[in-house]
Structure 1
Amino acid sequence: DMDFSGNKGLKLRSGGGCPKNHAIPDGTFAPTERRLFRGADPWMPCEGVALVVEVTSTKPQADREAKRRCYARGGIPLYLLIDRDDSSVTLFGEPEGDDYRQHMTIPYGKPLPLPEPFAFDLETGDFG
């Protein structure tokens, strides 16, 4: 089971392709048994987070580049980017240094397979 928090501040390590030492993802998922969100400070460490979600906004490059590098640098296993400009969804995985070693991009309307600990196909038909 997973817990979810919207707009939860995460402490990260700046450097390399990550210009800031913090970020506020649109969504953060963590295993329920970790109880990361219960009593958490406004800015919490990213250790134990399973997945972060960003939906591109008025500054899509920040979501596509800087935040991706920051989340990888923080060791967050999965980063899900919903790109409204490209009508696509990208799942980044296997963080290494300032980036992710793997990614899969699909257009809206196609299912996106999520790996463990989620292990289901994310339906993206309603994302458009």
Structure 2
Amino acid sequence: MIERATPIETQASPAFESLLRTVAEMDTPHGFKAELIRGKIIVSPFSKLRYSRRMRLLREQLQAHVPEGQFADTSPFLFRFPAAERGYGPDLYVADEAAFEEDGLHADAAALSLVGEFTSTSTRDADWNEKLDVYGSLVPVYLVIDMQDSEITCFWDPSPHGYRSRTTVSFGKPLQIPEPFDFSLDTTGF
């Protein structure tokens, strides 16, 4: 069995639950997604067209190495982080299939084994700061694909104080993705 961070059951505040309901009921414009960032509903555009190939290359490589019962996808789903009162819709994720058998509109963040965020000028700060802090206490592997600096950073070994390890490479160099994936990511197509 793979060792994973275990979430602590917490009762989310009524305000957080209300914001999640509001996000679920929103009719966001085509091509936009809504997330709960810093306690606010943030609506941002889906990734630019030029990101598509990189997202597909990453998803295809990951899918070949996902743990049994999990899958890699880019579908826009909101994952709940009740302890942090956040709800994120990652650009790419690997999650336990069982999390999508539940009723409701928001998946449990404890189902995530990897998250990938592709930075843009509008999301870069949240991807490098806010999300790094929240993912760093629960998600085993976090990839920041920095489209502005042409680099990819892998964070792993989450703890209550954030990730304990990280590696950064420029696009075109191989990047080792740690357990539970344990493979070398080819970034030449990035």
CA distance in 2, matches of 1:38, 1:116: 25
User: How many residues are treated as equivalent by the alignment?
Assistant: 119
Based on CA coordinates, which of the two structures has the bigger radius of gyration?
Answer: 2
C-alpha RMSD of the superposition: 1.7
1:5 partner letter: D
Deviations 1:83-123 (A, max 9, x none): 01111000001111242111100000001011122121111
CA distance in 2, matches of 1:124, 1:87: 10
Match of 2:126 in 1: 62
Q: CA deviation at 1:67?
A: 0.7
Q: Does 1:3 align with 2:3?
A: no
Structure 1 stretches of 4+ with a deviation exceeding 4 A read none
CA distance in 1, matches of 2:73, 2:161: 24
Shift of the 69–40 alpha-carbon distance from structure 1 to 2, 3 Å rule, reads farther
How does 1:18-29 map onto structure 2 within 5 Å?
20-29=85-94
Match of 2:188 in 1: 125
> Percent identity over the alignment?
32
Q: CA deviation at 1:40?
A: 5.7
Is the 2:99–2:108 Cα contact (8 Å) retained in structure 1? no
Secondary structure (helix, strand or coil) at the match of 1:96 reads coil
Gaps of 5+ in 2: 1-67
Q: Calculate the TM-score normalised by the size of structure 1.
A: 0.83
Between structures 1 and 2, the one with greater helix share? 2
CA distance in 1, matches of 2:134, 2:170: 24
Is the 2:118–2:147 Cα contact (8 Å) retained in structure 1? yes
CA distance in 2, matches of 1:10, 1:60: 19
